Amino acid sequence: MSDPDRGESGTAEEMDAPPPKRRPYESPTRRQQAAQTRDRIVAAGAEMVHGFASWDWRDLTVRAVARRAGVSETTVYRHFATDRRLHEAVMRRLEEEADIELEDLQLDTFDDLIRRMFTYLASFPISPPTQDDPTFAAADERRRAALIAAVTESADGWSDEDRETAAAMLDVLWSVPSFERLTTVWHFDADRATNAATWLVRLVRAAVREGLGPSR
C-alpha cells in the first residue's frame, strides 16, 4: 500500500528541504590565477610608492591601486580586506626588492643591510623637505658649521669629506626626529632616549680621536 505523504524519491520532509549548497569549485588553475591577481595588485601598489615624492602613503588606497592594476575594487578587497592589509603587503614587497630579511637580521651583517637599504632608497624620487622658515634654515646652517668645526679640531689628517660625514652623523643624533623615534617607536622615556643618544655620541667621539674615519 502506498504512502500518500511520500514522493517518488523520499519523504515529504525530504522533498521540502532546501537543496545542499554547492561547494565553490577550486582547482590548481583557479588558485594560480588568484595568486597571479594578488601579485599584480601588490606590484601595482609598489609601483605607486616608487613614484611618490615622499613616504606619505595616504594616496595608496584600494581604489587607486585597483585602477593601477587594472582590476575592480571588489577584486582588491577579495585579497585585502582593508587599506592597512594592502599597505602591509606592499611593504613586504618593498623589503623583498631591497633584499631585506628582517627575520634573519644579524648584528655582524647589519652594515651590509644598511648599505642595501640606502642604495635601494636612492632609487626613489623622494624630494627633500623644504625649509620655509628662514629662522630654522639659519639654525641648521649654524649647527652644521659648529659640528664640522668641533670634529675638525680632533680629526687631524682627515679629509674634509670624512670630517663632514662624522659631523653629519652627530647631527642625526642631535635631531628632533631621532628623539621622537626613540620615544614613540621604541617607547623610551626622555632619560633613556638621552642616555642612548649620548652613548652613541661617545662612540663617535672615540672613533674620531682614534682616527677611525668613515672611509677607513
**What tens digit of pLDDT does each residue of 2-48 get?**
454 444 445 555 445 555 555 556 678 888 999 999 999 999 999 99
Quick one: pLDDT at residue 103?
87
Q: Phi, psi (5° rounding) for residue 6?
A: -105, 140
Task: Check: CB of residue 143 under 8 Å from CB of residue 149.
Answer: no
Average pLDDT, the chain: 87
Residue 134 binned pLDDT confidence (cut-offs 50, 70, 90): confident
- The predicted-structure confidence for 39-76, as pLDDT tens digits, reads as follows 999 999 999 999 988 888 999 999 999 999 999 999 99
Ranking 34-38, 64-68, 105-109, 135-139 by mean pLDDT, the lowest is: 135-139
Q: Which of 2-6, 34-38, 98-102, 192-196 has the lowest mean pLDDT?
A: 2-6
155-160 contacts at long range (C-beta below 8 A, 24 or more positions apart): 155/208, 155/211, 155/213, 157/211, 158/211, 158/213, 159/213, 159/215
